[in-house]
Amino acid sequence: MKFLPLIWSNLMRKKVRTFLTLMSILVAFVLFGFLSAITKAFNVGLDIAGEDRIIVRHKVSLIQLLPESYKARMAKLDGVDLVCHATWFGGIYQDPKNFFGQFPVEPEEFFDMYPEFDLPAEQMKKWKETRTGAVVGRATADRFGFKIGQRIPIQATIWSQKDGGRLWEFDLVGIYDAKEGQTADTTMFLFRYDYFDEARGGEEGTVGWYYVRVADPDRAGEVATAIDDMFANSPYETKAEPEGAFVQGFINQMGDIGAIMQAVLTAVFFTILLVAGNTISQSVRERLREIGALKALGFTNVQALALTLGESCLLAAAGGLAGLALSWAAVNGVESSGKLSAYLPIFFIPERDLLIGVGLVAALGLIAGLLPALQARGIGIADALRRE
């Protein structure tokens, strides 16, 4: 600690250069924090995907519908514990930018399928009693200030009603949360399938996709194959796959987010390494005679190395930790504001990534300072004292 003022003074000898390097490091770590949160947001579906859940969709694509009659046939299969379905509604609430997912579902089966959702029993009871009833996740309720008892109009973009009208109105009867300690998507707007199926002007008796819960997760692959075999060569062939694989496939439609993020971060950190390394190298080159003088006073070669590494580590720590703190505060601010909740329902920097960030700070400090530190260690005193 007694060397810290000396290290700090050396960093401060070229204030502008140090400040610019510090800002570069800070910006890099702010970017790291945001990209971590975005990666997490994209991959959260994988985290919450149930090992015992299979998604069954039309073999051609997700937008092709399946017969509702498949439900009973799949339920009879050996190893199947529960079957329910959902359909993409794709409506607009007031303005197209107010996006959130709306799905007609079977209330009880859907909430049985997703035990991580928490809907109070009395609200579920009310929902079953109200044909036009709907429940919404906490994130969306908070975002639009929805209150129970409110009538919510949704303008359909896909599903018109039998009379050709496109305005659907729902009575909000419940708000669901994620169960304590669990991660879940609380942006969905759910309403009753029976009401939807009777009111829509076409495609009656069809659904978007199925959720199938298997009794034994180890048999999920086997059950998925059995489902596909059962509907093979029919007009509605299926593609059944574990929920995790389904979510991964969905994410991959947008590209390999993880690889893209990694490529961006690698480029950023490589650049920062060069910037910080150059700053420290320049700083050491400019004061080789001072380093020689310090050694003449009794500083050892190892102490000269440690002082230089200390400089680069202090620089990396000041910029990197400030960047991480700033990104953490900003991500929390964005998450609290709900401005991104329509697109990224889960938005936070995982603790693991924060720890990786701290590790990167240390690595940056050590690697950037290594070559100049070795130069400071290796230079002979007599030689250093002769330098201009």
Partner 1 sequence: MSEADGNLVEATNVTKNFSRGAETIHVLRELSLSVPQGEFLALMGPSGSGKSTLLNLIGALDRPTSGQVVVEGERIDDQSDSRLSRWRARHVGFVFQFYNLMPVLNARKNVELPLLLTNLSGRQRREHAEAALEVVGLTHRAGHFPRQLSGGEQQRVGIARAIVTDPTLLLCDEPTGDLDKKSGDEILSLLQALNREQGKTIVMVTHDPHAAARAGRVLYMDEGRLTEQPPD
Q: Mapped to the 3 state alphabet, what secondary structure does the chain carry? A: CCCHHHHHHHHHHHHHHHHHHHHHHHHHHHHHHHHHHHHHHHHHHHHHCCCCEEEEEECCCCCCCEECCHHHHHHCCCCEEEEEEECCCCCECCCCCCCCCEEEECHHHHHHHCCCEECCHHHHHHHHHCCCEEEEEHHHHHHHCCCCCCEEEEECCCCCECCCCCEEEEEEEEEEEECCCCCCCCCCEEEEHHHHHHHECCCCCEECEEEEEECCHHHHHHHHHHHHHHCCCCCCCEEEEEHHHHHHHHHHCCCCHHHHHHHHHHHHHHHHHHHHHHHHHHHHHHCHHHHHHHHHHCCCHHHHHHHHHHHHHHHHHHHHHHHHHHHHHHHHHHHHHCCCCCCCCCCCCCHHHHHHHHHHHHHHHHHHHHHHHHHHHHCCHHHHHCCC
> Which residue lies nearer to partner 1 by CB, 64 or 303?
303
Residues 206 and 69 sit within 8 Å (Cβ to Cβ): no
CB 22, min distance to partner 1, A? 17
Site size toward partner 1, by CB under 8 A: 26
301 binds partner 1 (CB under 8 A): yes
Position 380 contacts partner 1 (CB under 8 A): yes
Does the protein bind partner 1 through residue 374 (CB under 8 A)?
A: no
* By CB under 8 A, residue 6 contacts partner 1: yes
Binder to partner 1 among 53, 85, 192, 295 (CB under 8 A)?
A: 295
158, 232, 302, 356: residue in contact with partner 1 (rule CB under 8 A): 302
Does residue 43 bind partner 1 (CB under 8 A)? no
Check binding of 9 to partner 1 (CB under 8 A). Answer: yes
* Minimum CB distance to partner 1, residue 13 (Å): 5
297 near partner 1, judged by CB under 8 A: yes
**Under rule CB under 8 A, residue 375 binds partner 1:** no
Dihedral-angle region of residue 134 (phi above 0 means left; psi in -120 to 50 means alpha; beta otherwise):
beta
In the window 157-216, what residues touch partner 1 (CB under 8 A)?
Answer: none
Closest contact distance (angstroms) between CB of 16 and partner 1 is 15
Q: Write each residue from 274 to 293 as x if it is in contact with partner 1 (CB under 8 A), else as -, in one continuous string.
A: ---------------xx-xx
Dihedral over alpha carbons 312, 314, 319, 323 (to 10 degrees): 120
Interaction between residue 2 and partner 1 (CB under 8 A): yes
Q: Name which position in 173, 294, 368, 379 contacts partner 1 (CB under 8 A).
A: 294
In the complex, what is the shortest distance from the CB of residue 312 to partner 1, in angstroms, rounded to a whole number? 17
Nearer to partner 1 among residue 46 and residue 381 (C-beta) = 381
Q: How far is the CB of 385 from partner 1 (least distance, A)?
A: 7
Torsional sign, CA 214, 216, 221, 227: negative
> Does 315 engage in binding with partner 1 (CB under 8 A)?
no
Q: Which is nearer to partner 1, 23 or 382 (CB)?
A: 382
Shorter beta-carbon distance to partner 1: residue 274 or 296: 296
Examine residue 385 and tell whether it contacts partner 1 (CB under 8 A).
yes
* Minimum CB distance to partner 1, residue 343 (Å): 49
Whichever of 63 and 382 has its CB closer to partner 1, that residue is 382
- Per rule CB under 8 A, is residue 12 in the interface with partner 1? yes
* Residues lying near partner 1 in the complex (CB under 8 A): 2-3, 5-6, 9-10, 12-13, 289-290, 292-303, 380-382, 385
